[in-house]
Chains A and B, each alone.
Chain A
Amino acid sequence: MKFDASKKRNQRTVRYITIAGFLLGLLYPLCAGSMDSPIALINGISIGILGGVLVALFELYFLGPMKLRSSFISTVLVKSTSYFFLFIFLILVLMNFNEAWYYGVGMYENFKSARFQTFLYDGDFKVIVLYSLLSVSAIIFTREISRKMGQGVFLNFLTGKYHFPCEEERIFMFLDQKSSTQLAEEMGSLGYYTFLKEFYSDVTQCILGVSGEIYRYVGDQVVISWSVKKGLKNANCIRCYFYIKNEIERQKEKYLVKYSHIPEFGASIHLGKVIRGEVGDVKSQIVFHGEALYETAHMEKECRKQGFDILVSNQLLELVSLPVIYQTKHVARIPVLNNGKNINLYTIEESGPNPV
């Protein structure tokens, strides 16, 4: 329930990788020119689809998480050996299975047949294994790029959706470390960097779990955004803060041992109209421009100055239906830069378990 959005995301990953596998499997027989009998096509497609599903599952559950722990070389080695054996196994089994079915013989018989043995030792077997491995690396690399570019950004580059800027209403949350200057001095830049990296890595799951999009990191600040629909649903944008808080609370021992400091952070949440579009010919970025961002930054300054944990603007509070365990408290009113509009700021507290 909590990480509903994460599950959907994983399903999407499996779907995309499987489709890629299917296409690559289809491409091989086309390229290799073995179109005389349908068996080549059947082999290619079945290996592509099954391989795709397996690669997706491996990446999501076994080999993907290892990236966090080990070095580049060992990740590459482990991945390439496991996929090497996986695909040798897959190709042998599937081709045998398909051909046995197609020619109407037993699987062992087919394996022992002269045709299959020639294919294995003198034929295209090694080329197919090589092709599969190259395809897997292309898939992993593309996925990595698309992750690094941010959610939906890669897809946008393919479709060019934001070549033409458009106006939309979005919810923004600025999440930043408290007393960052002091921490940076105490830990040194490398120490503070590792600390933040760990923090962001813990936080990312919470953000994805409530459908948040990470817009950018600026030093020790993360900017998260939601479409109004996704942010308001389930009060996702408010819950995001509390999920993060609970997650850090749960892991505080780790932080205390490693860094002798628990991350403390403040969040400012606001909503407003922004323009979303792509800038830069080189190193293109999808950016938001608009007053809503200035206003949130303004709120964040206030949040920092007064040391609040969470600040929410009245514009957002009017729309969100807050779960009963959260209580709001009006704390300040800040003028907005130029048009004489005011923003009322509220802080939110989680009430303890009520005595029945």
Chain B
Amino acid sequence: MPSTISQKRRRRAIVRIILVGAILGFVYSSFSDGYQVLYPHINTIIIGILVGGLISYLEFYVFTKRGRRLKFLYLVGIRTALYIAFITVIVFLVLLVSRMIRQDMGFKEVLVSEEFQYYIFQQDFNVAIVYTVVFAFIINFSILMSRKIGKDVMWGMITGKYYKPKEIERVFMFLSVRHSDQIANKVLGLDFHRFIKDFFHDITEPILEYRGSIYEYVDDLVVVSWTPREGVPNANCIRTFYEAKKRIWENREHYYHTYGFVPKLAAGYHIGNVIQGELGEIKSPVVYFGDVMNTTSRIQGQCELLEQELILSAHLKNRLGLPPIYEPASCGEIKLKGKKEPMELYVIKEKPLTDLYAL
């Protein structure tokens, strides 16, 4: 079930954000109050957890798909305003309730008590707010940024993973729309751009759900890659394609209505060793470099020639345990352009309905 996978992903992210919130809360109280007494830590950790929850709620349930189309800075502005409002309320209430419990007083009593009044107006209340807001902003900014450049890449940049080139094995999928020449002739200018944008939008979730990382977009092509550990078990890499196809099918009315046709997909798969590293000082967080990339591209090119939607190399097929509903069929040894040796390629077909219904 794809929806459960994305739920899991979301839950993981929420846990992480709340954890960061709690840690940042603890850091604040350690700096401002030392370790003599316990209650400031409890307060700040509770505030951290609540603010983390607030961020998760707003990010995952309020500012979703539609929100992402807004301007980034505008978005950050709206968010910051909302956060300041909510955070002030949270900090205020937590401090208040903590005093109610500690001093065994009623809500109103604490509110008018001299000590609380003093803290709010004279002491660190505003500092606590500024601190919380600044970090809420930073967390937000990092979430947006890591979406923009890809989570793995951002983490790799922090840890210096791409500094030294190294050879690694990866599964590649080149996915694009079929008959792209005809489409380019039919859908012109801005419409073409919008079409590509919609297409990429629809296939993004399926890719993430099956743990693929988007490497780059080239015209109407998206290059997706997996480590063998992510892509091979459960035939994740192949399932991505069928999930994407399903999404396109679900949105067929939109495509037909807006562009006059529903796109068909074409995907080529291959696995092999590539060099992972940086290339060029500008505009290249990480590149994969090697013959495998060319080969995958050529395999994908066969989709048009053979009138197929999915073709994979024998090399990858042998590594995958395909789910029983899918059947591989060999299309024989094919000599790809720029290759000396012919390669054996496979297509994958879903079993026919009669087979599925047969008892």
Binding site for B on A (CB under 8 A): 27, 30-33, 68, 71-73, 76, 127, 141, 144-145, 147-151, 153, 157-160, 163, 165, 167, 181, 184, 189-190, 192-194, 196-197, 200-201, 204, 208, 214-219, 222, 275, 277-285, 287, 289-290, 293-294, 337-338
- The answer to whether B285 touches A149 (Cβ under 8 A) is yes
Which of the 9-residue segments B50-58, B214-222, B248-256 touches chain A? B214-222
Q: Does B277 contact A (CB under 8 A)?
A: yes
A194 partner residues in chain B, CB cutoff 8 A: 165
Identify the 8 closest CB pairs spanning chains A and B, nearest first. A72-B160, A160-B71, A150-B283, A33-B127, A72-B163, A200-B280, A148-B285, A283-B150
Q: Does B196 contact A (CB under 8 A)?
A: yes
- The answer to whether A201 touches B281 (Cβ under 8 A) is yes
B126 partner residues in chain A, CB cutoff 8 A: 33
Please, how many residues of chain B have a CB less than 8 angstroms from a CB on the other chain? 69
- The answer to whether B282 touches A151 (Cβ under 8 A) is yes
- The answer to whether A148 touches B147 (Cβ under 8 A) is no
A33 vs B197: C-alpha distance in the bound complex, in angstroms? 47
User: Which of B71, B196, B215, B273 meets A279, CB within 8 Å?
Assistant: B196
Q: Does B185 contact A (CB under 8 A)?
A: yes
Output the nearest chain B residue to A278 by Cβ-Cβ distance: B197
Which of the 9-residue segments B91-99, B102-110, B286-294, B313-321 touches chain A? B286-294
B277 partner residues in chain A, CB cutoff 8 A: 193, 197
A218 vs B31: C-alpha distance in the bound complex, in angstroms? 49
Output the nearest chain B residue to A218 by Cβ-Cβ distance: B218
Given A219-B294, A282-B204, the answer on whether A31 and B127 have CB atoms closer than 8 Å is yes
- The answer to whether B149 touches A73 (Cβ under 8 A) is no
7 contacting pairs across A/B (C-beta < 8 A): A153-B283, A197-B278, A219-B289, A279-B196, A282-B204, A283-B147, A287-B219
A337 partner residues in chain B, CB cutoff 8 A: 181, 185
A280 vs B175: C-alpha distance in the bound complex, in angstroms? 14
Q: Does B74 contact A (CB under 8 A)?
A: yes
A279 vs B218: C-alpha distance in the bound complex, in angstroms? 10
- The answer to whether A76 touches B72 (Cβ under 8 A) is no
Output the nearest chain A residue to B69 by Cβ-Cβ distance: A163
Output the nearest chain A residue to B76 by Cβ-Cβ distance: A158
Taking the closest CB of chain B, its distance from the CB of A88, in whole angstroms, is 19
Taking the closest CB of chain A, its distance from the CB of B301, in whole angstroms, is 15
Which of the 9-residue segments B35-43, B187-195, B227-235, B263-271 touches chain A? B187-195
- The answer to whether A277 touches B193 (Cβ under 8 A) is yes
Given A27-B134, A72-B164, A189-B275, the answer on whether A157 and B148 have CB atoms closer than 8 Å is yes
B71 partner residues in chain A, CB cutoff 8 A: 159-160, 163
A201 vs B284: C-alpha distance in the bound complex, in angstroms? 12
User: Which of A31, A149, A189 meets B283, CB within 8 Å?
Assistant: A149
Output the nearest chain B residue to A34 by Cβ-Cβ distance: B127
- The answer to whether B184 touches A190 (Cβ under 8 A) is no
Output the nearest chain A residue to B287 by Cβ-Cβ distance: A217
Given A72-B163, A160-B70, the answer on whether A31 and B338 have CB atoms closer than 8 Å is no
Q: Does B157 contact A (CB under 8 A)?
A: yes
User: Which of B127, B157, B280, B290 meets A197, CB within 8 Å?
Assistant: B280
Given contacts A165-B193, A190-B275, A280-B204, 6 further A-B contacts (CB under 8 A): A145-B157, A149-B149, A160-B70, A160-B71, A181-B338, A283-B216
- The answer to whether B289 touches A189 (Cβ under 8 A) is yes
A222 vs B201: C-alpha distance in the bound complex, in angstroms? 26
Q: Does B68 contact A (CB under 8 A)?
A: yes
B193 partner residues in chain A, CB cutoff 8 A: 165, 275, 277, 279, 289
Given A33-B126, A159-B73, A201-B281, the answer on whether A277 and B150 have CB atoms closer than 8 Å is no
A216 vs B274: C-alpha distance in the bound complex, in angstroms? 19
- The answer to whether A338 touches B283 (Cβ under 8 A) is no
What 1/0 flags go to B151-185 for Cβ under 8 Å of A?
00110011010011101000000000000010011
